[in-house]
Amino acid sequence: MSLLIKNGRIITAGDDYVADIFVDGEAIAAIGKNLTAKADQQIDAKGMLVMPGGIDPHVHLDMPFMGTFSSDTHETGTRAALHGGTTMVIDFVLQKQGHSLREALDEWNGRARGTAVGDYSFHMAVTDFNEGTRAEIQKMVEEEGITSFKTFMAYKGALMIDDRQMVGLMQEVKKQGGMVTVHATNGDMIDYLIAKHKSEGKLSPLYHYLSQPEVTEAEASSRFADMTHYTGCPGYIVHLTCEGALNAVRLATKRNQRVFVETCIQYLLLDASLYEKDFEGAKWVMSPPLRQKKDQATLWAGINQGLVQIVATDHCPFKWEQKLMGKDDFSKIPNGHPAIENRMELLFSEGVSKGRISLNKYVEVTSTNPAKLFGMFPRKGTLAPGSDADIILIDPNEKHTLSAKTHHMNVDYSAYEGWELTGKVKTVVLRGQVAIDKGQCLVKKGYGKFIKRNKVNGIV
Ligand code: URP
Ligand code: ZN
Ligand code: ZN
């Protein structure tokens, strides 16, 4: 099959020009003015912005967590992602403590293979680093194409590793050409504060927020940056939320160290006042929690300063009945919120349309940097001959409203209910196939491919 996209305004991380794109099979074959090649299908993109498909490198699909499973499967989650202009996601495999990485990967493959609608890859979360795990890292990188290793400095007893394990893992991952990523919050401090609040009878969602003050994230981010500096391992902080943590990274850059930063759309747009809505605040119970308006300002500036390279979602949806597990105790509310479908349009509307970031920066943080940092560039993350034809068309002027009534995520509320946005994803092409058009998904369960990733060098 071939496809010709005519007269779109093509935006990449570095360019902005009007041209045609000719797609042959799964890849882009040519880009130029007035292309005349005959194609099986043609799209008139006049007035549209034509961009590389979004890559969301932080999602949790069908993940066992806090006594339940996140409610989007690889099928429903990647389909919803496509509706919102995200053509590829990176999901997390969680090693069970006392078990191997291989066992965990087999389990996740069992859930994702043949079910994903959009393309996907995995980060491997190392929750138990020992000599057995060390021996598996090379296989993950060389044979499985899994080159990023996630760590948790919190969630003690289930996911957290200590600094001894962290340094050992970093040394091995550096040797094998991978990157260590981190949930950087001080787990022991948080556990102390949770226990204290509970002993005082403070049990509402507000105390989830008050149990994870900014210092818990700033301290862990600084410690992580120091450990990556010491080991020389490329490091990446996921879901960074606040000024204190970004300042720790800023300091690290003064010694010419690269430690990469991801923030998530919710930390740019929502703030902790939502926890004052009694139990409704559970919709936004996530870790780290939402912060203050001053932190939002720091994060927007951090994007433009190049300190924040990626805007992801940490999509980890739970239905309302699952959130109710913590009705009488905030520490039992499953952590996470739904956004996989909304990231691209929210960031376009609140970022580009409102003049906070440029169109090029938008592409950089939603697609190009995820592809570069996670070993997929230039196959993914740009529009160029030879790249996968993962292409989105955005109408920059169309207004629309977000709602659980119309979204495609498998969750019965929207964290952004009633938000009025400017800019809508109209058409999505995934590896040459029109995947979304006129609000319909045209590719089937199983179309999504597992993308093996290359080694990373810690440079964007
Ligand atoms: O609240 C969150 N973030 N849930 C998902 C797990 C994690 O820490 O990323
Ligand atoms: Zn996390
Ligand atoms: Zn997460």
Q: Give the pLDDT confidence score for residue 277 in this predicted structure.
A: 87
**Contact 60 CB / ligand 1 (< 6 Å):** yes
Bridge partner list, 6: 44
Q: Determine which helix (DSSP H) or strand (DSSP E) holds 302, and give its type and residue range.
A: helix 293-305
Q: Number of folded domains in the chain?
A: 1
Ligand 1, residue 238: give the atom nearest the CA.
9
The pLDDT assigned to 38 comes to 95
Task: Render pLDDT for 101-128 as a digit per residue (tens, 0 to 9).
Answer: 999 999 999 999 999 999 999 999 999 9
At residue 27, the 3 state secondary structure works out as strand
Q: How far is the CA of 287 from the centre of ligand 3 (A)?
A: 8
For the CA of 183, the nearest atom of ligand 1 = 8
Domain assignment present for 423? no
| Domain assignment of residue 166, yes or no | yes
- In whole angstroms, give the CA distance from residue 317 to residue 319: 7
Residue 140 in any domain: the answer is yes
Residue 143 structural domain:
53-373
- What is the DSSP secondary-structure string of 112-181? HTTT-SSEEEEEEE-SS-SHHHHHHHHHHHHTT---EEEEESSSTTTTB--HHHHHHHHHHHHHHT-EEE
Q: Which ligand neighbours the alpha carbon of 59 most closely?
A: 3
> Among 219, 248, 260, 225, which residue's Cα sits nearest to residue 57?
260
216-247 per-position pLDDT tens digit? 999 999 999 999 999 999 999 999 999 999 99
> Which tokens belong to 52?
């590389």
How wide is the angle at C-alpha 23 spanned by C-alphas 387 and 30, nearest 5°?
Answer: 70
CA atoms within 13 A on the CB side of 414: 20
Instruction: Determine if ligand 1 sits within 6 Å of the CB of residue 323.
Output: no
Q: Is residue 425 part of a domain?
A: no
Any ligand 1 atom below 6 A from CB of 286: yes
Q: What is the pLDDT of residue 363?
A: 99
Amino acid letter, residue 156: K
CATH number of the domain bearing residue 347: 3.20.20.140
What pLDDT does 258 receive? 82
Give tens-digit pLDDT for 151-171: 999 999 999 999 999 999 999
Is residue 87 situated within a structural domain? yes
The C-alpha atoms of residue 256 and residue 288 are separated, in whole angstroms, by 27
The residue among 227, 233, 211, 352 whose CA lies nearest residue 289 is 211
In-domain check, residue 12: no
In this structure, the number of other CB atoms found within 10 A of the CB of residue 139 comes to 14
Cα–Cα dist 289/297, whole Å: 16
Distances (CA, A) of 38 to 5, 46, 48, 143, 380: 11, 19, 22, 39, 25
pLDDT at 458: 76
**Residue 422 resides in a domain:** no
Stretches where the chain sits below pLDDT 70 are: none
Classified as helix, coil or strand, 192 is helix
Taking the centre of ligand 2 as the mean of its atom positions, its distance from the CA of residue 245, in whole angstroms, is 14
**DSSP for residue 315:** B
